[in-house]
Structure 1
Amino acid sequence: MEAALLGLCNWSTLGVCAALKLPQISAVLAARSARGLSLPSLLLELAGFLVFLRYQCYYGYPPLTYLEYPILIAQDVILLLCIFHFNGNVKQATPHIAALVSSWFVLSLQKWIIDLTMNLCTFISAASKLAQLQCLWKTRDSGTVSALTWSLSSYTCAILLRFVIMLALNIWVTVTVLRYQKTTIKAE
């Protein structure tokens, strides 16, 4: 039963990721505007996805463990091009895309580079969300930001919530054990 539930969670997450940015892309195309979307947020998100994908490939993980990342990257690149198109500066997309492509190769130049960037991935991802929040708070206008896309993204993260809860409880047990651990005095 557990294996079936885990399989369902894995495949549903993959399915959600396959369509994650489609509501956002549709909203931008329908409105013919990228109002409310944060370019720094999208670039940070793309960087985080790219680092994670490169790390998985570098260390030879099975493709099923990272299959959603090429899909997410492709959707984010489409969204990035939409943002530049509707902001009237498509030529400015070129240096950003060139930086992303070249970073694919730079990440694997040295083992320490890929390891360090992977360790920073959580911070990169968090910075991405904070950049989007900052944009929304500053403009006080959600513009064409898709609530459905953010809800789907929340779903994919909710599955990981179990691990965060288990981590907190394991730390709590460890601290409690250390707190109540009796010190043994050697008899001399």
Structure 2
Amino acid sequence: MMAKLEDFTEVISDYLDKGLVLIVADLLSLITVSSCLIIKVPQINTICTNKSSKGISVPGLCLELFSYTVMMSYNYSNDYTFLSYMEYPILLLQEYVLIYFVFKYQDILGRKTQIIAGLYVIICTLIYLKIFPIMILTFLVPFCTPIGATSKILQLITILRTKDARSVSRTTWALSAFTNMKDVDFAITKE
């Protein structure tokens, strides 16, 4: 029992030796991952309850999917610790469900969508088998933040164009704003 306590104390001590900036970054990552567990759920529920995805931007969702996929793939391909990018697989799973319902209620689940989804799966498989050139992911990563911002702008434009925000969840947008602020803060602390 005493040996286990000493081991635990040593682990804590080693962790604290990492420095305050890295500890804060880890805490922010945990908070982000926790909020990402449910970030898209209110949006999905709103769409399913309304049985409508009017006011949701399909190009915006596709840009968001692209951004999440690139970031997760880049981190995975570079063998970064899973905790540093754990929010991306969680976000991707929710994004897939969200895209399905948006496409379903906008009646765009046809053959063209299936072919594009198949190509997406093939590219992801190549990435996860580490066959896809990492140089391409490295090139794409700096574009992910502007692409993510563009997806939000497209969403706002769609709301203004359709004059219908009933399918948009305020909770999802608030959580998204928080996690984006964490990403900005983490990028500043990395420099």
Q: TM-score, normalised by structure 2?
A: 0.77
Q: Give 2:4's aligned residue.
A: none
Unaligned segments of structure 1, at least 5 residues: 171-188
Cα distance in 1 for residues equivalent to 2:159 and 2:89 = 27
Q: 1:97 Cα deviation (Å)?
A: 1.8
Bigger Cα Rg: 1
* Kept in 2: contact 1:47–1:100 (CA 8 A): no
1:103 maps onto 2:108 in alignment: no
* Kept in 2: contact 1:14–1:68 (CA 8 A): yes
Cα distance in 2 for residues equivalent to 1:72 and 1:26 = 16
Q: Give 2:41's aligned residue.
A: 22
Query: Sequence identity of aligned pairs in percent?
Result: 29
Q: Give 1:73's aligned residue.
A: 92
Q: Give 1:119's aligned residue.
A: 142
Cα distance in 1 for residues equivalent to 2:116 and 2:170 = 26
* Kept in 1: contact 2:123–2:132 (CA 8 A): no
Q: TM-score, normalised by structure 1?
A: 0.78
Cα distance in 1 for residues equivalent to 2:136 and 2:126 = 8
Q: Give 1:149's aligned residue.
A: 172
Q: Give 2:72's aligned residue.
A: 53
SS in 2 for 1:60: coil
1:33 maps onto 2:52 in alignment: yes
Cα distance in 1 for residues equivalent to 2:185 and 2:107 = 43
User: 1:140/1:78 Cα in 2 relative to 1: closer, same or farther (>3 Å)?
Assistant: same
Query: How far does the alpha carbon of each residue in 1:62-117 deviate from its partner, in whole angstroms, 9 at most, with x for none?
Result: 11111111111110110111012112332253133223223325665323211111
Residues 130-139 or 69-78, more deviating: 130-139
1:93 maps onto 2:99 in alignment: no
SS in 2 for 1:156: helix
Backbone CA RMSD of aligned residues: 2.5
Unaligned segments of structure 2, at least 5 residues: 1-15
Q: Give 2:182's aligned residue.
A: 159
User: 1:153/1:87 Cα in 2 relative to 1: closer, same or farther (>3 Å)?
Assistant: same
Query: How far does the alpha carbon of each residue in 1:120-179 deviate from its partner, in whole angstroms, 9 at most, with x for none?
Result: 212221221121121112122213110110100111122234357779xx9xxxxxxxxx
Cα distance in 2 for residues equivalent to 1:7 and 1:160 = 12
